[in-house]
Structure 1
Amino acid sequence: MCGGGESTGASARIPGPNLRSTRPSGAHRRTHHVHVPSGGPRARSFERGGIKFAILGLLKEKPRHGYDIIREMEERSGGFYSPSPGAVYPTLQALEDQDLVTSATEEGKKVYSLSETGVDFLEEHKERARHHHSRWEAQWGAGPRTESAAAVSGIRDAIGDVRRAVRRCAGDSEKLKEIAELLGETAYKIRDIAKR
């Protein structure tokens, strides 16, 4: 059975007519309170504070720049979740403001590292970190899934093809009706697959 109703980077809306699908007739440890700005719809794939712990966990492994963090999250989710720059970079800035991470410019890129204070923070909040990590694995798996990532990429391409076709048919009500009916039938079949 497919995952729950969380938003992912793979979700999309098709513009045009109402395509609602129908059944076919046929050091000193301190407690830190870090405010992390909202990163938009894709950031809601995490519980409150989840993206903060995900980033800190990745930086604990090794220093990374912002794009590397985005790419790593997408890879580890099998392509199902890709945080927006608007979620990652403000979070990194908030973590740096709280001295949980440090940054240095290398070859023109800002590279972030976990600070000693950040290490202490993760140790102090290891239960919360473990909770968010477990939730991540339950939702997307324990690591990269090449086949899933390839499938998601194919789905995105197909959605793009549909969008372009709908735009080409703008103003032609008969073609749009035909497309809407076909998509309704397809959506019904997809829901059946998801329920297995």
Structure 2
Amino acid sequence: MRFGIGYGAWTGGPRGDGHRHGGRDHGPEHAAWKQGGGPRGRGRRLFDGGELKLVMLKLIADAPRHGYDLIREIEGLTGGGYAPSPGVVYPTLSMLDEMGLIEEQQSEGAKKRFAASDEGRAHLAENAAVVDGLFARLSAVGAESERTDGAPIRRAMGNLRQVLQHRLMREDVNEDTLHEVAALLDEAAQKIERLK
């Protein structure tokens, strides 16, 4: 079914959050995205309501894409600071398709690739200021990620995670060991906090 939509109606549903479509809930991953941006969302709630739909529509209008492309592109725009989960992206693609804002293209393989329809481009033009604001937000998250999540920090965090998993999985781990590990982590946290 195709219908004209202003941004106010774009959020959909009686609650205005756009997270139900056709009377169905999109499941626990969808709820996780609302709270923390999905599995890789790093605890941030980046978009509300129909905002992710607009971001995806703009990316599809820029170049035909399939779902995985959209996840990678959004993650790239935020420097890895946010990536919507497949449990959010694929139902949103279906919704955009049902609204007539995108159209499936011929593509090789099993992945469905979509391009923006004329109606979708018109919708983007009507909401250009909103779209610009959303992409500015993505850029800000990317800049923050670059400042706070550089390669050396990621490497060190990965190393710490592996060491903890390896050491704490051993059979000889007792309560004293756990307290010692916790004390070392607390000490490191305090030293980092005191850095200038």
TM-score by length of 1: 0.69
Q: Of 123, 126, 130, which residue of structure 1 is paired with 2:125?
A: 123
Q: What do the CA deviations read for 1:102-146 (whole angstroms, capped 9, x no partner)?
A: 22352221112111111111111111111211222222239x96x
Q: Which residue of 1 aligns with 2:81?
A: 80
Matches within 5 A, 1:1-196: 30-31=5-6, 33-35=10-12, 36-37=18-19, 38=30, 40=32, 41-43=36-38, 44-48=44-48, 49-104=50-105, 106-108=107-109, 109-141=111-143, 150-151=151-152, 153-154=154-155, 157-158=158-159, 160-161=161-162, 162-168=164-170, 172-192=174-194
Instruction: Pick 1 or 2: higher relative contact order, CA cutoff 8 A, min separation 6.
Output: 1
Measured in 2, the distance between the counterparts of 1:159 and 1:95 equals 42
- Mapped to 2, the partners of 1:149 and 1:102 lie a distance apart of 38
* More off after superposition, 91-100 vs 120-129: 91-100
More moved, 35-44 vs 178-187: 35-44
Kept in 2, the 8 Å contact 1:34–1:98? The answer is no
Deviation at 1:165, TM superposition (A): 3.2
Cα offset for 1:94? 1.6
Indicate the RMSD between aligned Cα atoms, in angstroms. Answer: 3.1
Distance 1:69 1:79 in 2: 13
1:23-43 C-alpha deviation (Å, 9 max, x unpaired): xxxxx9643525443462215
One-letter identity of the residue aligned with 2:82: Y
Q: CA deviation at 1:64?
A: 0.9
Cα gap change, 1:76 to 1:186, in 2 (>3 Å): same
Secondary structure, counterpart of 1:99 in structure 2 = coil
In structure 2, C-alpha distance between the alignment counterparts of 1:100 and 1:91, rounded to whole Å: 11
Distance 1:80 1:33, change over 3 A: closer
- Kindly indicate whether the alpha-carbon contact (under 8 Å) linking 1:59 and 1:112 is maintained by their aligned counterparts in 2: yes
| Percent of residue pairs bearing the same amino acid type | 30
Code of the residue aligned with 2:105 in structure 1: it is A
Runs of at least 5 residues in structure 1 that lack an aligned partner in the other structure? 1-27
> Which residue identity lines up with residue 83 of structure 1 in the other structure?
P
With over 3 angstroms needed to count, the CA separation of the structure-2 counterparts of 1:50 and 1:39, relative to structure 1, is farther
Query: Could you tell me whether the CA contact under 8 Å between 1:78 and 1:149 is conserved in 2?
Result: no
**Contact residue 77 and residue 139 of structure 2 kept, 8 A:** no
